Amino acid sequence: MRLDQEEVKFYAANGYLLYKKPVFPEQDFIELRNIFEEHLADKGSKLSDELDTPHFRDPRLLKFLLSDDVLNLVEPIIGPDIALFSSHFICKDPYQGRATPWHEDSAYWKDKFGSYDKIVTVWLALDKTTKENGCMCVVPGTHHNGFSEYEEVDRASNTFHAQIKDVDTSNAVAFELEPGECSLHDARIIHGAAANTSPLRRCGYTMRYFSASMKFLRENNPDWKIWLARGQDHAGNVYENR
């Protein structure tokens, strides 16, 4: 396992962790970033932040999503039975990358799970991420608070249609990362990101996992693909073949 006891305790208390070490060996990271560049070049009319679930279309990504390099970060947080839920290339172009409103991932997944306490996102920096180019920020400890109240926002300048009302961001933490490093965050934590107003691109790869003791609501998501990444299923979920 790649996290020590203190890091796991910090994550449990705060809902996030910055992992300031390379996630993948250098050659694997270069390979993954090259795959991303292919997807970005072939995106067509999509915006650069709309490359969701690329692994549904490109099985090369499963090499990374199901690798021990990532799963050994995830296991100390959600346990040894791990399912791959989703992934997303999210890129903010220089000067025009949209803002990500303050939100909880769990608020958008109400039709996918019955509970949200064992879902973790690994956010891998493909580019250097800073406050200037719109890095993610979280409000520590808010994963304990339950669902928030939302209000509509302008969809053209935001990646989502709504944001949490009246968020206290006075103690928000910015996830500034070097390429190859990652953050981990709980599905319930309040987080967001400013628009990219800098000349530097900001791209990351989100890799999302849930405990295989949790039920994925297949009846609401008949075409969604999930994989058993490690361990055993304990909830009767149906997975793709590896």
User: In this model, does residue 50 exceed pLDDT 90?
Assistant: no
pLDDT at 204: 97
**Single-letter code of the amino acid located at 143:** H
- For the chain, the structural domain boundaries read 5-230
Task: Write out the two tokens for 141.
Answer: 């400890």
Q: How far apart are the first and last CA of the chain?
A: 22
In terms of Cβ atoms closer than 10 Å to its own Cβ (0-12, 13-18, 19+), residue 238 is exposed
pLDDT at 23: 98
Per-residue pLDDT band for 242 (boundaries 50, 70, 90) equals: confident
Q: What is the mean pLDDT of residues 195-221?
A: 96
Domain 5-230's class?
A: mainly beta
User: What average pLDDT does the structure give for the chain?
Assistant: 95
Q: What is the pLDDT of residues 144-198, one digit of tens each?
A: 998 899 999 888 888 888 899 999 999 999 999 999 999 999 999 999 999 999 9
User: In this model, does residue 57 exceed pLDDT 90?
Assistant: yes
Residue carrying the six token digits 């709980």? 186
Of 27, 29, 30, 3, which is closest to residue 17 (Cα–Cα)? 3
Q: Is the dihedral of CA 142, 145, 147, 149 positive or negative?
A: negative
Q: What is the mean pLDDT of residues 132-143?
A: 96
pLDDT at 237: 97
Considering 61-70, 96-105, 140-149, the range whose residues carry the highest mean pLDDT is 61-70
> pTM for the whole thing?
0.95
pLDDT at 36: 97
pLDDT at 129: 97
User: In this model, does residue 114 exceed pLDDT 90?
Assistant: no
Higher-scoring residue by pLDDT: 162, 78: 78
Taking a C-beta distance cutoff of 8 angstroms, is the pair 73, 21 a contact? no
pLDDT at 159: 81
